[in-house]
Amino acid sequence: ELFNFIEDIEEGDIITFNFPITVILWDGTTVQIQNFNELQSVIESAIDQCDEDDDNDYNDDDCDECTTQQLEDILTGCSDWMVDKLERDDIDLEDQYVGYLFNFDANGTLTVDESGNQFSGTWESTGEGNNITVTINIPNLPDFNDAWILHEIQQQPGESKVDLRIGDDRLRFESDCISGGGGVNDAELVAALTNGDWYITYYFDDIDETANYADYVFNYATDGTATATDPNGTTNGTWSTSSGDETELELNLDFGTVSPLDELAEDWDVLEVTNEIIRLKDVSGGNGSTDFLTFERDPFTGGGGTTDLEDFLVDGTWFVFSFIESGNDETADFAGYNINFDISGTVTASNGSNTNNGTWQVLSAGNELLLDFGTDIPFDEFNEDWDVLSATNTRVELQHVSGGGGGTDTLIFEKL
């Protein structure tokens, strides 16, 4: 509940704590807090006490039934494992290893590929259940070298994860596991990406940095290699696809460490794919900020407006075609409402007897739509900064993913 509360806080909101407050710890005990200093102290002391490992399964022993054979089958049966989490000495290191692909062999050897560079090492597992030790030794990648304890194995369609711990340090590998019978449907993205030239027409990382890429032409080959060419020469890179964090599909890019191309080294969630545009999004694992990246067929020419979304919305009357909140279909709550967006930034939704007034704003060059209907029921459910999945002059598809283990909401407007 606390994570959902924090996620819903908007910029400019003023939050007041009325002390004393009571907090419930992971083991059910309660502590009364008198001030912010005490609250900070309790949170910091509880960080490493609860057994919460992203599966919302508290007090669990996640590897009661794990075996070394099961681990070997998964690690060797899936290819191109990526570093999903890496924390050493309270420092998050996973961003340093974007684009590194790990492949484990049953003979105890492993190889790591990164933009044509290859590193060799060994791995070994011993023990059983919650006491399986996984020893990794890659001489040229010391951040991974240790006798790790296997904490959990997660498998679901199109995705496998192996979670290793040692004290407060953590290493989690992730694979889309296509060779294991899963995989993601990346056919449309691959077909578009590997066909012809692409240009960056929008890149946002706290500020608009699109101009840094104005001279680059990007080409992607079917073998997973890529090039970025500007008047100074060509930079080689790699690309791959896997299951996304907030969308079904992600595009993994790595053009090395040369600025500004090093900024593209992320696992990008795919928001939209056509033969003319590819829109991507990444939520930082560090400060939680959101980056946006858009490729199009024509070069960037300056500006950086809000694409066509504003023009679409103000042109005509819309209705709620679909609203799914965390898996629950609530479309019927909005039946009969006509929605009109005004160029001034106001929006009205009326069914003849009830009118909801609000505001709207297109952000991040058309990648986000901010809606705010205040406390007007039922449209207060739309008070979010929505990711724009697609937009035409007759249909706008939006998505919002709640933080802290929350669900995914989808909202579709269609024009009357």
Give me the pLDDT at residue 54, please.
45
Tokens standing for 44? 């910091």
Sketch the domain layout of the chain as residue ranges.
2-46, 68-180, 187-296, 309-415
| 288 has pLDDT over 80 | no
Edge-to-edge strand list for the sheet holding 133-137: 91-92, 82-88, 169-175, 159-166, 146-156, 133-137, 117-126, 109-114, 101-104
Give me the pLDDT at residue 141, please.
96
Residue/partner pairs of 392-397 with CB below 8 Å, 24 or more apart = 392/312, 393/308, 393/311, 393/312, 393/315, 395/321, 396/309, 396/312, 396/313, 396/318, 396/369
CATH class of 187-296: mainly beta
The most distant pair of C-alpha atoms in the chain lies apart, rounded to whole Å, by 72
pLDDT tens string 90-106:
999 999 999 999 999 98
Confidence of residue 387 (pLDDT cuts 50, 70, 90): confident
Cα dihedral 105→137→223→220 (10° resolution): 160
Cβ contacts of residue 56 below 8 Å, gap of 6+? 405
| 183 has pLDDT over 50 | no
Select the more confidently predicted residue: 40 or 110: 110
CATH class of 68-180: mainly beta
* Tokens 């579709």 found at: 412
Confidence of residue 3 (pLDDT cuts 50, 70, 90): low
Give me the pLDDT at residue 95, please.
92
DSSP reduced 3-state for 272:
strand
Q: Do domains 68-180 and 309-415 have the same CATH topology?
A: yes
Percent of the chain topping pLDDT 70: 86
Q: Give kind and range of the element (H or E) at residue 323.
A: strand 318-325
pLDDT (average), residues 263-270: 92
| 300 has pLDDT over 60 | yes
Confidence of residue 180 (pLDDT cuts 50, 70, 90): very low
pLDDT (average), residues 48-60: 47
pLDDT tens string 187-202:
889 899 999 999 999 9
* Tokens 């002391």 found at: 45
pLDDT tens string 62-93:
688 788 988 988 898 788 899 999 999 999 99
Tokens standing for 206? 């706290």
Confidence of residue 306 (pLDDT cuts 50, 70, 90): very low
Cβ contacts of residue 79 below 8 Å, gap of 6+? 103, 175, 178, 179
Q: What is the pTM of this model?
A: 0.46
Q: Which residues of 235-256 are buried (b: 16+ CB within 10 A; e: fewer)?
A: bebbbbbbbbebbebbbbbbbb
Give me the pLDDT at residue 302, please.
65
Gyration radius from the chain CA atoms: 24
| CATH code assigned to 309-415 | 2.40.128.270
DSSP letter string, 86-103: EEETTEE-GGGGTT-EEE
Give the chain's mean pLDDT.
85
Percent of the chain topping pLDDT 90: 50
